[in-house]
Amino acid sequence: MNRLVLSGFLAASLLSTSGMASAEMGHNGQAQQMGSMDMGTSTMLQSMQHHQGQKEMMADWKNIQLVLNNEKVHSEIDSLWNNQENMAIVPLRVVAERLGAQVSWDHKEKMVSIDKEGLAIPVPMMNLEESMAIKINGTMVKLPFQMIKDRMMVPAPIISQLFGLDNRFNPVANTISFSNREDVPSFFTANEGGSISRVDAVTNKVMDTIKENGVVHNVQVSPDGKVLGATLIPSMGNMDHGHSNEQAMEMKGFALFFDISTNQLISRVEVGNHPAHIVFTQDGKYALVANNEDNTVSVIDAEKYQVVKTIPTGKNPHGFRISNDSKFAYIANMGEDSISVIDLFTLHESKKITVGKAPVTTGITTDGNTLVATLNAENAMAIVDLSTNKMVKIPVGAGPAQVYIEPDNKFAFVANQGTEKEPSHSVTKIDLTTKTVVATIETGKGSHGVTTSEDNKFVYVTNMFDDTVSVIDNQTNKVVSTIPVGHVPNGISFKK
């Protein structure tokens, strides 16, 4: 059991990765999240100690409603928000007890102790002259706090870090809310520079960065939202980026599986040379990885994290999707003109569908009737009626990479990448009923990965050569936000 020990009186310090910073409006104009601390916050916290009177100090604060896991919490002391400093403070004891912790006071030692399994250990960014000690399982850190009406108030990010919660201030509802991190709508990007970025889909701010030694090419969230899968090519030093990278394609690689709630690695599974995309079956039974250089697909048991079958495909398998009934995987073979159809009951290639030159990625409607594939060498997207095998090709932008069909099957989105020397910078929006282009949306350089929010309101596109993600309003077909992420973002996956 981790034991949190608080001692001292009015004090302040900077705290680690989930400290405080200026809160900003998200693209929906409602919620604000408090991220990492800055020097302005440090100065404000120090001033909390040196005001001559509490009355003067509290003049810029207003009462706000505390919400824990979607339930309003009422107590004798209100939480407070300072609009000028963009920060909230909340009653520590009230929050800790509501979260299942035991709180006690040692009169002799003059210390507050909080006991709860799994408390996190914050890592301080810097020290100030005056501070209050926190002891968590023997590790000392610093804590900014304020005494109000004999109650200890702490900045909201302190609670987030100790209990592993997301926090956000909603100026419209006048609330400070805490919720489990796994409940936060977010998306992940695979960054070839050696990392995975997790972005809060409400605030459009990077929540977490997972570092890896090598090229992270693709990511996907499991159907239950609990596990993140990723493909990794071990580091080989400096290299060019993109699908033409022959050096990277010769590397034996891995499928990585992370616990989304903690970012901890669950398993590292060796697969084939140059693993490209990773996709979970909807029933949660398997995770498949396309091995681009080996011309195979690895089938991984998603519970035991073991390769149970390696299936031959066409030449240079790359991106793919799996039917919603978990029966078939449709693998784009970049080195030829075909799609390999993998029967997930027999675990064999059942047939190939000819679509055109250099297919990169596929998509399949939820009813399993319509297959789409980007044709990189033709600057087109193929649409195949699987019941009749009839196909049409829709012209798109230069060098199309990924395609994604939104959850309601109305539109398909094609990210047009181009090349590193001549990057494209657009997304083509295609109506799957009329089979026509309804919009071409300007994005960043080298648009590659694409996905949508669960409610179809937003489209997210990685821009490989800008190190950003473009957020597109699906109603207006306009970019509403551009988010810096890791170096050379490639694959992307949304978690509802």
Is residue 153 located within the same domain as residue 232?
A: no
The last residue of a domain, from among 159, 181, 203: 181
Check if the beta carbon of residue 449 is closer than 8 Å to that of residue 401: yes
Residue 249 DSSP SS3: helix
Any idea what the CATH number is for the domain that residue 236 is in? 2.130.10.10
Check if the beta carbon of residue 299 is closer than 8 Å to that of residue 308: yes
User: What average pLDDT does range 430-438 have in this prediction?
Assistant: 97
**Percentage, residues of the chain above pLDDT 70:** 78
The answer on pLDDT for 349 being more than 50 is yes
Query: Around Cβ 227, how many Cβ atoms within 10 Å?
Result: 21
Phi, psi of 54 (to 5 degrees): -65, -30
What's the one-letter identity of residue 20? M
In sign, the C-alpha dihedral spanning 280, 281, 287, 293 is negative
Place 133 in a pLDDT band, splitting at 50, 70 and 90.
low
Is residue 367 located within the same domain as residue 470?
A: yes
Check if the beta carbon of residue 352 is closer than 8 Å to that of residue 311: no
Check if the beta carbon of residue 118 is closer than 8 Å to that of residue 100: no
Give all strands (DSSP E) within 292-435, no chain letters. Answer: 296-301, 306-312, 317-322, 328-333, 338-343, 348-354, 359-364, 370-375, 380-385, 390-395, 400-405, 411-418, 423-431
Is residue 64 located within the same domain as residue 141?
A: yes
Give all strands (DSSP E) within 61-181, no chain letters. Answer: 61-68, 71-73, 79-82, 87-91, 102-106, 111-116, 133-136, 139-142, 146-148, 151-155, 165-170, 175-180
The answer on pLDDT for 32 being more than 70 is no
Instruction: Check residue 31 and give its pLDDT.
Output: 55
Is residue 400 located within the same domain as residue 321?
A: yes
User: What average pLDDT does range 476-492 have in this prediction?
Assistant: 97
What's the one-letter identity of residue 241? H
The Cα–Cα gap between 8 and 332 comes to 62
Instruction: Check residue 472 and give its pLDDT.
Output: 98
Our count of domains for the chain comes to 2
The Cα–Cα gap between 236 and 245 comes to 12
Residues linked to residue 423 through DSSP beta bridges, in sequence order: 418
Is residue 316 located within the same domain as residue 415?
A: yes
Is residue 288 located within the same domain as residue 408?
A: yes
Query: Around Cβ 238, how many Cβ atoms within 10 Å?
Result: 6
Is residue 152 located within the same domain as residue 196?
A: no
Is residue 260 located within the same domain as residue 353?
A: yes
The last residue of a domain, from among 127, 151, 181: 181
Is residue 257 located within the same domain as residue 366?
A: yes
The Cα–Cα gap between 17 and 399 comes to 38
The last residue of a domain, from among 142, 165, 181: 181
Is residue 132 located within the same domain as residue 188?
A: no
Phi, psi of 443 (to 5 degrees): -125, -150
Instruction: Check residue 164 and give its pLDDT.
Output: 79
User: What average pLDDT does range 396-409 have in this prediction?
Assistant: 97
Q: Which residue has the higher pLDDT, 131 or 308?
A: 308
Beta-sheet pairing, 175-180 with 61-68: parallel
Torsion of CA 53, 56, 57, 58, to 10 degrees: 120
**Residue range(s) defining the domain that contains residue 61:** 2-181
Instruction: Check residue 11 and give its pLDDT.
Output: 30
Is residue 171 located within the same domain as residue 188?
A: no
Instruction: Check residue 442 and give its pLDDT.
Output: 97
User: What average pLDDT does range 371-389 have in this prediction?
Assistant: 97
Residue 58 DSSP SS3: helix
The Cα–Cα gap between 484 and 469 comes to 7
Is residue 205 located within the same domain as residue 147?
A: no
The Cα–Cα gap between 35 and 413 comes to 31
**Percentage, residues of the chain above pLDDT 90:** 60
What does DSSP assign to residue 261? T
Any idea what the CATH number is for the domain that residue 45 is in? 3.30.457.10
The Cα–Cα gap between 114 and 146 comes to 17
- The tens digit of pLDDT for each residue in 115-130 reads 777 776 554 433 333 4
User: What average pLDDT does range 96-109 have in this prediction?
Assistant: 77
Confidence (pTM): 0.76
User: What average pLDDT does range 222-249 have in this prediction?
Assistant: 71
